[in-house]
Structure 1
Amino acid sequence: MNSEGTWWQDAVVYQIYPQSFNDSDGDGVGDLSGIHERLDYLDELGVDIIWLNPVYDSPHHDDGYDVRDYRSIREEYGTMADWEQLLAALHERDMRLIMDLVVNHTSDEHEWFQASRRAPDGEYGDYYVWRDGRPATDATDSPGPPDRAPPNDWEAAFGGPAWSYDDLRGQYYLHLFLEEQPDLDWTTPDVRTDVYEMMEWWLEKGIDGFRLDVINLVSKPADLSSGRGPGIEACAGGPRLEEFLAEMAAETFDNYDAVTIGEMPAVTVEQARRYTGPDGPLDMVFHFDHMTLDYDEEDGWWGLTEPSLADLKEVITRWQTELADGWNALYLGNHDQPRIVSRFGDDEQYRYESATALATLLLTLRGTPFIYQGDELSIRNYPFESLAEQEDAMTVGRVQAAIDRGEIDSFETVRELVRERTRDNARTPMQWDATANAGFTDGDPWLPVNPDYREVNAAAQQDDPRSVLAYYQRLIELRHETPALVYGEYELLLPAHESVFAYRRTLEDDRLLVVLNLDDEPSRLETLAASPRLLGNYDDPTDTTTLRPYEAVIAQDP
C-alpha cells in the first residue's frame, strides 16, 4: 500500500551490512557500537533511513539469514542494549531504522525446528515442510535412505538438492537455500501467528519498518510430489501468497507508521502492482530484472555477458511506467550483488566518472533509492584468488556442487567468473581511511580489505570536493530539494541511442532532463545545448553538444 507524499517516498535509504561496516571492539567483525560511532558520517551524507541487514542471533551459515532467535542479538554484534542505543541515536538525528526480516526459513538450530524434529505430533511438528519422499529401489545418490528419494527434484539456490533427510524424524525437509535453513510451512496457522507476534514485538520497540527477505517464496505449491529445476522458481508467487501478505499487513505493520519492502525473486511488474498499489499489502518490492542482465541466456549465473544498455533501459523504463500506482524500490547493488562500479561502470580509467553517473541514475528515478554501503566511495570488486578466500555460502556451494557433479574440474576453471559473481565483493570491509585494515578494525578482518583502500577511502574523500562521496552528497541534497526528481512522471528519451540513457522527469510545470553517457567514448547530443544545468559530474563544458565518457547531467528542461 502507498500514498504519495509519505516519509519513505521522500527518503534516501542507506543499507548497512553490519559485519563489514565498522568494528568497535577489535575482533575483526563489525558491530552495532561500530555503526553508532559512524552516525555522523551517515548524517553528513544526507540519508534518511538505515536498512540494517540481519543482526539476530544466528549461527551465520548464511551471514545472518539463518535466524536462531528472532528476539536476540548476535553476540558478535553486541547486545539488545546496544541495538536500543543505536535506534535512539538514529531517531535523535531524525533518521529511521528498517530491520531485515527472514521468515521464509529459519536456522536449523531454531527451537521450532529442533522441536519439530523431535516430536512430529507435538506443538511444532508441522511448523516446517516435511515429506516422506518417493519410494526408490536404489536411491544411493540421494540425501536420504536408499529406499526413499526426495519428494521432487528441486535444486537449492546455493547448490545441491532442495531437500535434506533428517534421521531423527525420518522424513525429508525442504530448504530452498542451505540445508541449515529449513523452510517454514506457512499453511500452518500457528506459524503465521508466531511470526506476526514477533514482528509486532519489534514494531513496539520502535523500528520504522521491515525489509522482508524472499517473501514471495512463503507460499509453496500445493503438490510437491514432482518438479525439477530451481526450487525458488517453482515457489515464487505461490497460490496463497497474497492471502498471507494481506493477513501479515492487517496483523502487524498496517497498525504502525512503518514501511515494508518485499524482496521478490522472479516477480513481474504485473504482480508488483497488486502487491504495492493503493490496495496492496506492501509499500515496495525489490525485483531482480536488472540484476540478471549480465547472465547468459542458456547458462544463467554460470555465463558472464556484458550488460546491454538497451536492455537496462528496457527494464528500468518498464518498471518506471508500468508499476502505475505502485512505488519503486530503486537499487543497483546490495549485499548480494557485485559492486556497481565494477559491474555497470569502469572501475579503472573512469572510476570517478562512471561511479557518479551510476549514482545519478539511481537518485533521479521515480521511487525510493537504496544506496549500499561503500558505493558512495566507489568501492570495487575484490581480486579473489582462491575458493578458500570465499565466505559466501552461495558461491562456495554452487562451485563445490559443480565440482562434485563433474561439471568443472576445479575453482581455477571458473575463477574469473567467481570474481565477478561472488557476493563477497559487496561484503569486504568498509574503507574508512588509509590506516591498517582501512580503519575498519584493529584486529584481523573477517574478510580481506580491498587492496586499494589507501587511495579509496572515506577520510580522503571527505576532504575532496571532487570526490565520489561529495557528488553523492550534492545529489542527495538536490533530490531532497526537488520534488520532480521524487514524484515526477518518467519519460524515456532517445530510446535507440546505443550509449546515452536520457529521460525527462515532469511534475506539473517543473521539467527536468537527466542525460547519462554510459560509455567510455564521447557521445554527440544536440538536445542539451540550451538546457541550464543543475548538476553534473564534469566541470562546466566548453562544448555543450558533446557528452564526455560517463558524463552525467541533470538539467532544467526549457
Structure 2
Amino acid sequence: MASAPAEKWWKNSIIYQIYPASFKDSNGDGIGDLNGILSELDYIASLGVDAIWICPMYDSPQYDMGYDISDYQKVYAPYGTVEDMQTLIDACHAKGLRIILDLVVNHTSHEHAWFKESRSSKTSAKRDWYIWRPAKYDANGKRCPPNNWRAIFGGSAWEWDETTEEYYLHLFCVEQPDLNWENPDVRKTVHKDVMEFWLNKGVDGFRVDTVNMYSKDPAYPDAPVLSPESETQVAFSLFCNGPRIHEYIREMNEVLEKYDAMTVGELAQTPTMEGVLRYVSAAKKELNMVFSFDVVDLGMGKDYKFLTGKRNWALPEMKTAIQRTQNILNGTDGWTTVFMENHDQARSVSRFGSDKTPEARDASAKMLAIFQCTLSGTQFVYQGQEIGMVNAPEEWGVEEYKDVDSTNYYHMVREMSNNDPDKLKEALQAMQHLARDHSRLPMQWSAEPNAGFSPPSAKPWMRAHDNHTEINVQAQNDNSSSVLSFWKKMLRLRKEYADLFVFGIFELLDEQNGEVFSYMKKSGGKSVLVALNFSDTPQKVEQVEGRGWELLISSVGEEASAGDANLQPWEGRIYEASF
C-alpha cells in the first residue's frame, strides 16, 4: 500500500507551476519577471497550493525559452537578479509555500562558458565535457553526421563545428549542446555549482528536465530506419534510459538527501511500469516521482507530434494511460504525479474537453478539475489552468507562434512541400491543436488590455488571448460559480479526502465506454466513485443504480444533479459510499 500521508511533505502537496515570461510583468517591458511572481504570492496562496515550481529563470539567450542556460548562477536579466530570486525564496517560505526550480543539466546553451571552451580546440581541458565525434563519409565522399539520430525539434541531432572540424551532439536545438555525463568532472560540477548553489539559497527541490537522457548508448549506433524518405530517424531507444542513467541519478540523490530536497523527473519514453519504478522506488534512492507522458502524449503523431488529426484519440486510450500511472502506487514503494498541463503542452480544455462554446468550455474545465483532483499522487497545476484558459484562437496566423518546436515544424513543411498552401494550412491546424505556445500566452489577470499581464502601454512578448475579457482572475475571483471557485473547492476537497484522493488505490470501471470515464478510489474500507462525461451529450452513470452511493460533489452543482441518473454534457461527479 502507499505510504502514510504524514511521511513526506511532497506526497500530499499541490504544486503550482509558473512560466516566468508569461505570469506577470511588473515593470512594463512586456516580459514576466520575478517581482511579478512576488506580487501575486497572495493569489497563489489563496488557491490552496503548497508549493510553486518556477520554470528556468537562469541566464539564457532564450533560443528555447530558458531551457538553454548560459550561466546557472545568474538570473536572466529581464526576469531580475539573484537577489530578487533570494527575496522570492524567502517570501514563499514566509507564506508557508515551498519553492522548486527547474534543473536543466542534460545540455547547456552554446553560449555557456563551458561549451565555448570545449569547442575552442580538440585539446581544450573541457573538450570532453560535451559529446564530440568525427564526421562519416558516404561512398561519394560527402560528409555526414556520425549517425542518423533525429533531434527532438527535428533535423539531425548533430551539428558540424568548423573550428575543430567535428560534430557535437544536441538532442534539442542546435544551440543546446549535450553535456557528456560520462565525464566525472561534469557530474561533480553540476552537483556543486548548479544544484548546491541553489539548495544553499533555500530552494526545496527540483523538477529535473529530461532526466533519463543523460546516459546514451555508448556506441552511438544508427537508429532503425522507420522513415526511409528521411535522412534522420527517431532514436529515443538509443538516448533514453541508457546503461549508466541510474548510477548518475543515485549520485544526484546523494546531494539532494543532505537537504531533504524533493525531485520530480521529466521521464519521456519509459512506457512500462517496471521501467518507471526503477526511477521512483523509494528503495532505489533515485527520484521521488516522475512525470510520465502517457496522458499528455495522447493523439500526438508518432514520427512528428504535429503529424496527426485533431483529437486523434479515444477515451479508452486515456483510461489505459491513467491506469498505467495510477498503478505505480499499488503494492509498491513508488510514487506518482497528477498533471494534464505544463509549459510543453497545449491547454487541457482544448485537448481533452471542449472550447467550442463558453458553456462547454467552463463545464469541461470543471470536469477536468474533478478528474485531476481525484487521482493519486502529487498534483501539479499549471498557471491559468485554474481559470480554464484555452488554446489560441484558430484565426491567429503563424506569426503568433514563437516556440522553436512550432516554427521548426512549419518551416520544415514549407520546405518539403514547396510552399504548398494546403500543407501549410494543415501544419497550422496541427499547431493550433498541439503547440507548446498555447501554454505560454500571458496569464489572464483582468479584462484590461494585455489581460492585466502587462500595463496597457506595453507590448507583451506574446499576444494575450482574445478571450481575456471574459476569462480572467478578476472576473472569476468573486464569482462562486466560476471555474476558479470550483478549482479552489476541489483543491480543498482533495486535502479533506487525502486518504482516498491522494493515497487511495485506483480501480478502473467500464473500460471500453467511449463517453464516460468512471473509476473508484479505495482506502482503508472507504470508497468513492468518480464519473466523468467526456462528451457533449447526456450520459448514464451505470454504476450508481442499486448501490448505496451518495452524491458528494458535481461540477454542475449538487442541486442540478440531484436525482438525475444522467450526467450532463462535460459533467463530473463524485459519489461517496454509504454502505
Q: TM-score, normalised by structure 1?
A: 0.95
CA contact (8 A) 1:157 1:231 kept: no
On the 8 A contact 2:306/2:427 being kept in 1, the answer is no
Alpha-carbon deviation of 1:125?
1.1
| Residue number in structure 2 paired with 1:261 | 264
Shift of 1:506: 1.4
Residue 418 of structure 1 is matched in structure 2 by 431
The match for 1:398 is: 409
Percent of aligned positions that are identical: 39
- Identify which range, 491-500 or 224-233, moves more after superposition: 224-233
Equivalent of residue 399 in structure 2, options 388, 396, 400:
388
Contact 1:33 1:78 in 2 (8 A): yes
Give distance in 2, aligned partners of 1:170 and 1:130. 10
* 1:111 aligns to 2:119 (yes or no): no
Matching residue within 94, 97, 110 for 1:95: 97
2:526 to 493, 510, 528: 510
2:246 matches 1:238? no
Q: Are 2:413 and 2:427, in contact at CA under 8 Å, matched by a contact in 1?
A: no
The aligned counterpart of 2:512 is 496
Contact 2:55 2:101 in 1 (8 A): yes
Q: Distance in 2 between matches of 1:135 and 1:525?
A: 63
CA contact (8 A) 2:292 2:325 kept: no
Whether the aligned pair in 1 keeps the contact of 2:215 and 2:245 (CA below 8 Å) is yes
Deviation at 1:226, TM superposition (A): 2.7
Specify the SS of the correspondent of 2:502: helix
What CA distance in whole angstroms lies between the structure 2 residues aligned with 1:356 and 1:307? Answer: 21
Normalized against structure 2, the TM-score is what?
0.92
* Number of residue pairs matched by the alignment: 549
115-124 or 434-443, which deviates more: 115-124
Between the aligned partners of 1:527 and 1:172, the Cα distance in structure 2 is: 60
The CA deviation string for residues 84-132 of structure 1, in whole angstroms up to 9 with x for no partner, is: 1111111111111110011010000000000001132222110000001
Work out whether residues 528 and 544 of structure 1, in 8 Å CA contact, stay in contact via their aligned partners in 2: no
Residues in 2 aligned to 1:214 and 1:407: alpha-carbon distance in whole angstroms: 34
The amino acid of 2:307's aligned partner reads W
How far the C-alpha of 1:333 sits from its partner, in A, is 1.0
Question: Could you tell me how far apart the structure 2 residues matched to 1:343 and 1:303 are?
Answer: 13
Residue in structure 2 matched with residue 13 of structure 1 by the alignment? 15
Give distance in 1, aligned partners of 2:398 and 2:17. Answer: 27
> Mapping of 1:60-459 within 5 angstroms?
60-136=62-138, 138=140, 147-197=142-192, 198-227=194-223, 228-250=232-254, 252-268=255-271, 269-280=273-284, 281-296=286-301, 300-304=305-309, 305-322=311-328, 324-349=332-357, 350-383=360-393, 385-406=396-417, 409=420, 411-442=424-455, 443-459=458-474
Deviates more, 1:220-229 or 1:87-96: 220-229
Quick check: 2:57–2:76 contact (8 Å CA) kept in 1?
yes
The code of the aligned residue for 1:508 comes to: G
Cα deviation, residue 413, structure 1: 4.0
When structure 1 is superposed on structure 2, of 424-433 and 304-313 the one drifting more is 304-313
Matched letter for residue 59 of structure 1: P
Inter-partner Cα distance in structure 1 for 2:235 and 2:398: 25
Using a 3 Å threshold, how does the CA distance of structure 1 residues 383 and 282 change in structure 2: closer, same or farther? same
Q: Deviations over 1:292-338 (max 9, x none)?
A: 22124676531124321100001111221245321111111111111
Paired residue type of 2:270: V
Matched residues in 2 for 1:57 and 1:173: separation? 22
Match of 1:536 in 2: 554
Q: CA shift at 1:512, angstroms?
A: 1.5
**Structure 1 residue 408: Cα displacement:** 6.3
> Tell me, what secondary structure is at the counterpart of 1:447?
coil
Q: Distance in 2 between matches of 1:526 and 1:418?
A: 37
- Name the SS for the 1:118 alignment partner: coil
| Residue in 2 that maps onto 1:553 | 573
Equivalents in 2 of 1:195, 1:459: separation in Å?
42
CA 219–37 in structure 1, closer or farther in 2 if over 3 Å, else same:
same
Q: What's the RMSD between the two structures over aligned residues?
A: 1.7
Query: Would the aligned equivalents of 1:157 and 1:232 in 2 still touch at CA under 8 Å?
Result: no
Structure 2: 5+ residue runs without aligned partners?
224-231
Distance 1:481 1:391, change over 3 A: same
Deviations 1:197-235 (A, max 9, x none): 121111111101000111101101111253351244420
Per-residue CA deviation, residues 520-540 of structure 1 (Å, 9 max, x unaligned), is 111112533542222221122
For residues 543 and 175 of structure 2, what CA distance do their matches in structure 1 show? 56
Match of 2:212, SS state, is helix
Equivalent residue letter for 1:523: Q
Q: Which runs of 5+ in 1 are unaligned?
A: 140-146
Distance between the aligned counterparts of 1:138 and 1:454, measured in 2?
61
Say whether the 8 Å CA contact 2:14–2:50 is kept in structure 1: yes
State the 1:467 CA deviation.
0.4
Partner Cα separation in structure 1 for residue 20 and residue 343 of structure 2:
11
Partner amino acid for 1:557? A
1:256 alignment partner AA: Y
Aligned amino acid, residue 475 of structure 2 = A
